[in-house]
Each structure stands twice: as structure tokens, then as C-alpha cells.
Amino acid sequence: MSGAVSFPEILASALIVLGGCFALVGSWGLVRLPSLMERLHGPTKATTLGLGAMLVASVLWFQLGKGQWTTHELLVSVFLFVTAPISANMIAKVHLLRLRLGETSEPAGPAGMPDAPPGRAEWATYEAPHEGTPGDFVGD
């Protein structure tokens, strides 16, 4: 290895190391945190950010180091940043529904069970399709 290290190589290496650290922290949080609502934080924030750093490293390395312009990585990172909150929301809804049904042995989290909504209303996890929309069971 020669003494002169090019600037794009330094930049890409730093971003790759940063991304690896964030991915590791996210999975460590998945192992260590005590309840599912807390465990959701690690993968949805730290791991997504780490992957974003790696994708930026890839864009910079191919652009500055090799002169090839690629945008696939940006597409992947945009897709991940859009979909991570949606999957986290779906997993949290599954957790709430199973807590509500009493089918789980795990703790509810630091905030405990959320209050039931007033009246005959239910949480969104129970919500049936509205009347007149496809999938309602009025006619069954």
C-alpha cells in the first residue's frame, strides 16, 4: 500500500465504517432493549441510518473514485427511508393487538397499556371496513 491515499477513498472508508457502527448499534439495541416498543427504535432508526451512510459511500466511491455515475443506490436509500416507518407502524399495531387479545407474554413497555378509546370505538387494529366500501360484511 502506497503512502498516498486519495480523498474519495478516505471519504468512502469513513462512511462505510460509520454505517457499520450504526448497523451494529441498531442490532445491539434489538437484542438489549427490554420491550418491543423500545426494540422498534433500534432497527428503524439506527440501522436505516447506517445503511444510508453505506449507500452514500457507494455513490461517492463510484462517482469520485471511478468516474461512473450511478443512482441506483439513491433509489434504494429513498425506498428504505420511506418504508421503514410504515413497517414499524405495522409491527407496533400487531404488538398492540396481541396485547389487547392477551395472547402475548411479553411486557407492554414503559408506558404500559394505552387507554381504551371512549365509547364503542376501538383501536385502529380492530377497525372493520366502513359500510359501503369493498370488504364490509353488512350483507353477509
Partner 1 sequence: MLEWALAFGFGALGLALAMNLWRLIKGPGVADRILALDTMVINVIGLIVLAGIAGGSGTSFEAALLLAMVGFVGTVAYAKFLLRGDIIE
By beta-carbon proximity to partner 1, the closer residue of 75 and 114 is 75
Q: Which three cell numbers stand for residue 52?
A: 444510508
By beta-carbon proximity to partner 1, the closer residue of 14 and 121 is 14
Report long-range pairs for 12-19 (Cβ below 8 Å, ≥24 apart). 12/57, 12/58, 12/60, 12/61, 12/65, 13/57, 15/53, 15/54, 15/56, 15/57, 15/60, 16/53, 16/54, 16/57, 18/50, 18/53, 19/50, 19/51, 19/52, 19/53, 19/54, 19/57
Indicate whether 116 belongs to the interface with partner 1 (CB under 8 A). no
Residue from 106, 114, 116, 122 that binds partner 1 (CB under 8 A)? 106
Residues that bind partner 1 (CB under 8 A): 1, 5, 9-10, 12-14, 16-17, 19-21, 23-24, 26-28, 30-31, 36, 39-40, 42-43, 47-48, 50-51, 54-55, 57-58, 61-62, 66, 68, 70, 72-73, 75-76, 79-80, 83-84, 86-87, 90-95, 97-98, 104-106, 125, 129, 134-135
